[in-house]
Amino acid sequence: MVVSSAPGKVYLFGEHAVVYGEPAVPCAIELRARVAVEERDDDRLRVHAEDLSLDGFTVEYSRETDMGPDVNVADSLVEAAMGYVDAAVAQARDAADAPDAGFDITIESEIPLGAGLGSSAAVTAAGIDAATRELGVELSTEEIADRAYRAESEVQDGEASRADTFCSASGGAVRVEGDDCRTISAPDLPFVIGFDGGAGDTGKLVSGVRALREEYDFAADTVASIGDLVRSGEDALAEGNVEELGRLMNFNHGLLEALGVSSRSLDNMVWAARDADALGAKLTGAGGGGCIVALDPSKATETALKFTPGCEDAFRAKLDTDGVRVEEA
C-alpha cells in the first residue's frame, strides 16, 4: 500500500480569469488530502472516503457497474468526488500501462469539498501519485501535475485550468498563465480563512462566467482586468509588499463579484474581515459559497469571522512549501 498526500490552496489572485489564459497566483496551504492505494487482484475499485465535507461513504464498483454511495448530501458533490477518483485512476492506469488494475482506495481530507480550497486537485494529484507508485511507477512532479490537470479537465468538461493541480503538485506559491506553470518566491503570508459551510458548483459557475463574457464586452474586459491586476500583484509579491497585496485582493474580489460568482455569505465574510482591518480579503476558488481568504497578522479578522452570521469556521493557514509527497502507511 502507498499513501500520498497533496496540499490545498488559496488564490491570491486570478481565479476564473485563468481559464481564459490570464495569469493567476495560487498558494498551497497546510491543509492536505491523503490518499491510500492498495492494488487488488481484480479490476474493481473500492473507494472509502472520509471527511470531504461529507458524512463519509464506501462504494465498490467496476467499470461496467453504475453504483453510487448512499449519503445525504447533494448528488452533484458526490458525483464530482467520484468523478475525480475515476479520472485519477484512469490516469494512473495509463501511466503504468496497466488498464485492468483494480484498487482499494481510502481518502482522508482536511480540505472541504467544493469550498474553493482545491480539494479536488489535491485528491487527484495525491491519488495519481499513490496509484502509480503502487503499480511500480514513479512520476515526476511535472507529470503528476499534467495528468491531474487532464483528469480535472475531463470532469469539468474542459473548463479546468492548470492552476489548482500545478499548485497541489508543486507546493508553495505558483504562477500559472495558460500552459506556463512555475513556482515563485513568496513570504509566509498571514492567511486567515473563513468558511461558510457551503460549496459552489464549479462547472456551473465557470460556465456562467463564460456566457457573460460572450454576451457582454464589459465582462470580457473585466476578465482582462483581473489579468492586469495579477501582474501588479506579482510585483507586490516580489517586493514583499503585503499592504499592496491586500489592496489588490480587495480589487480582485470586486471584479469577481461583478462577474456574478460571489454570494451573500462570501461578501459578508469579506466585509467582516475588512471591518476588522484586514489588509485585504476576497473569495477564493470558483465562488458561489465556500471560503474567503484574508491577510491579517493580528487575531482581529479570525475573531471577527467567528462572530459573523453565515461563517461556520475561521482559521489561520500557513504556506505549504511541500507539494505531493509520500506519507508513512
164 is catalytic: yes
Q: Among 120, 115, 131, which residue's Cα sits nearest to residue 49?
A: 120
Beta-strand pair 2-13/325-327: antiparallel
- The alpha carbon of 121 is separated from its chain's Cα centroid by a whole number of angstroms, namely 5
Cα atoms in the Cβ-side hemisphere of radius 13 Å centred on 102 = 11
Q: Which of 146, 164, 196, 320 is catalytic?
A: 164
Q: What are phi and psi of 137, to 5 degrees?
A: -120, 130
Q: Among 146, 151, 137, 141, which residue's Cα sits nearest to residue 171?
A: 141
Rg (CA), the chain: 19
Query: Grid cell 458526490 — which residue?
Result: 78
Beta strands in 116-229 (DSSP E): 173-177, 180-184, 191-195
Residues designated as active site: 164
